[in-house]
Amino acid sequence: MLPPGRLYEINNTMASAITAGRTLIHVTAGAANPLYILEAHVEGESATSLQMEVEIAKVTTAGSPVGTGTTTTIPRGHAAAASFTAIGSLSTEPTAYSATAIAEKHFRSSVYGYHFEPVMPGLWLPIPAGEIWGLRLLTASVASQKFSSSLLVLELG
């Protein structure tokens, strides 16, 4: 059962193809509202097998990241505005990611891309209030292609 909070789905589809790693979704939790990541997805536009390494990690030094807007939807129909901010397809990366605060990391060869969905609430990925985390594609496929990504988050408070 979900704790009291609001569900949001953050979606991002890249406008241009890439062959190198990049932050796909960069999320900053609200100052008084921690988040839980309940699901994460990354997939390429090609139906062929992908070699990719994906991680969800804490940003330790924000710098001045630049990206595009993401689409945030409200799956359960509540009207409350989100207190978090999210940008996607970063063209300027954060200055530094943590080498130790990595909540999830996978390298896979897959036609279907990356899917993270823990079944137990104790395995959800917490983002404390005010912290910044990123869904990153560390290595992209050799063939240039676009990627789409999404996060399902629960905002508390």
Asked if the model's pLDDT at residue 100 lies above 90, the reply is no
Average confidence score pLDDT of the chain? 84
Confidence class for position 150, pLDDT limits 50, 70, 90: very high
Q: With respect to residue 111, please indicate whether it lies within any of the assigned structural domains.
A: yes
Q: With respect to residue 157, please indicate whether it lies within any of the assigned structural domains.
A: no
CATH number assigned to the domain comprising residue 10: 2.60.120
Number of structural domains the chain divides into: 1
From 52, 53, 38, select the one nearest 152 (Cα to Cα): 38
User: Could you list the residue range(s) of the whole structural domain that residue 19 is in?
Assistant: 6-151
Confidence class for position 109, pLDDT limits 50, 70, 90: low
pLDDT in tens, 134-147: 998 887 666 678 88
Q: Which residues pair with 56 in a beta bridge?
A: 104, 135
Q: With respect to residue 93, please indicate whether it lies within any of the assigned structural domains.
A: yes
Q: With respect to residue 41, please indicate whether it lies within any of the assigned structural domains.
A: yes
pTM: 0.87
Rounded to whole angstroms, how far apart are CA atoms 84 and 35?
8
